[in-house]
Amino acid sequence: MLKQTLQQKLLQKLSPQQIQFIKLLQVPTVSLDARIKEELEENPALEDGSLTNMNDPVEEYPDHDPDENFENKESDFDEEFSVDEYIQEDDYNDYSTNYGSDDDEDRKEIPIAVQDSFFESLQNQLDLLALSDKDYLVGQQIIGSLDDDGYLRRPILSLIDDLAFSQNVIAEETEVESILKVIQDFEPAGIGARDLQECLLIQLRKKDQNNPIINQAIKVVENYLDEFTKKHYDKIEKQLGVNSEELKDIINEILKLNPKPGDSGASAGKQLHIIPDFHITNNDGILHLTLNGRNAPELRVSRSYQEMFEHYEKAEKTDKKMKEAVQFVKQKLDSAKWFIDAIKQRQQTLLKTMNAIMEYQYDYFLTGDERLLKPMILKDIADKIEMDISTVSRVANSKYVQTEFGTFLLKSFFSEAIQTDSGEEVSNKEVKKILEECIANEDKRKPLADEKLTEILKEKGYTIARRTVAKYREAMNIPVARLRKEL
């Protein structure tokens, strides 16, 4: 049976404008240009002010209160539109300068050296060989099957199948193996190996075979690679019949080899170029925060759409097509206004959040000493700026700040508190820094185990469990004591 009931619910819904602001907030500076370009392409009522004549009077919409919540306004055919809501003389230059943006919009781009890629370099070496057409196609297939590290991870039989189906070349396994050996002689050394052991052996066999150290290194890689990776040096000494000094020379020879030869040719193209969202400068002990100029784009509502809206406002609205035209123009104008509002609110939120972080960690930003970092969680900043924790999280997880001692992700300044024996609360960053110094200064022949590191911290007044020390060590990508051992 159908039953009718009355329920009362409390729901929280985000308007489309609030969702747009949230999405813009988490976009880093390096991706903001692409997002703005996408909006400019989708909405003809939005214009890039930097491409217009700055001497012309700029007609723009009235500013919104930055702290005012956006409202989801529905179009109504019977509503009396006012063009004054969309057209107003405004000081255009204030738009990009009132938000603490810096003056480095004309900064020069870093030049990138033009060079052959890793695969182009191998192809050039293949072109220099006097090969038959069949062998040349086999060589091309092998080079194209290498991964970015320079390894051939695919079975030979798979290459044979690919040659038959794609190139109509019938090749035997021995023929492919023969061409693979030729490619393994290419530079950089180690290219075309099928595993780490083969990669290291290729590099060692290209060295002076009359050198006894090289010969012993080949034996280690051929027969004791597992013991070498686990640093069971005492077992290797017994098997080879060498002392610790001789083994040290052998190990050093192996450590000189490149386990990923493909990276040597592609590393230049893989460098990540970080564009900071904020800049902090120290002026005689006073910190000054600026927002990257790219975060203050010169956007405005299209004058042609404003004039079109003014024309439609004066026309009769009884015609259905005219109503649809009015609705379309108003929708585009509203969308342009909301997007510019969201950009402005994004700027203010970024500056407000970063300024709170800077004030909270003022001593750290003056010196760069990680020991001066205070315990700080997202809630501390959220309470300070009177915003939601999720808003602070979106800013901290994707934005970078450039200081006089480096460029850092905002998330790295947040840390939990640890209480010392004296009752003082310190950041766990301070504990990690002490751990890093202890491990850096340890005797590499007898590295400090986690239990010993726990005792050292306890002596310094930090009572921390051994499992916590292990967690911090792993977070800093520091291996266990046995793997830090050196001869």
Mean residue pLDDT of the chain comes to 78
Q: Is the pLDDT of residue 67 over 50?
A: no
**For residues 35-60, average pLDDT:** 66
Q: Binning pLDDT at 50, 70 and 90, where does residue 66 land?
A: very low
Q: Is the pLDDT of residue 458 over 90?
A: no
Annotation: CATH topology of 417-483? Arc Repressor Mutant, subunit A (1.10.10)
Can you give the pLDDT at residue 264?
56
Q: Binning pLDDT at 50, 70 and 90, where does residue 272 land?
A: low
Q: Binning pLDDT at 50, 70 and 90, where does residue 16 land?
A: low
pLDDT in tens, 336-366: 888 888 888 888 888 899 999 999 999 889 9
Can you give the pLDDT at residue 314?
63
Q: What percent of the chain has pLDDT over 90?
A: 13
pLDDT in tens, 221-237: 999 888 888 888 888 88
Q: Binning pLDDT at 50, 70 and 90, where does residue 15 land?
A: low
- The overall pTM is greater than 0.75: no
Can you give the pLDDT at residue 70?
36
**For residues 12-17, average pLDDT:** 63
Query: Whole-angstrom Cα distance, residue 138 to residue 2?
Result: 73
- The CATH architecture to which 116-194 belongs is Orthogonal Bundle (1.10)
Can you give the pLDDT at residue 72?
42
Q: Do domains 116-194 and 417-483 have the same CATH topology?
A: yes
Provide the residue ranges of all domains of the chain, joining segments of one domain with +: 116-194, 195-264, 278-413, 417-483
Selected residue with higher pLDDT from 69 and 446? 446
Q: CA-based angle 323:329:334, to the nearest 5?
A: 120
Selected residue with higher pLDDT from 443 and 93? 443
Residue identified by tokens 């209160």 is: 65
**For residues 434-457, average pLDDT:** 86
Can you give the pLDDT at residue 427?
73
Task: For residue 107, give every residue at least 6 positions away whose Cβ sits within 8 Å of its Cβ, in sequence order, or none.
Answer: none
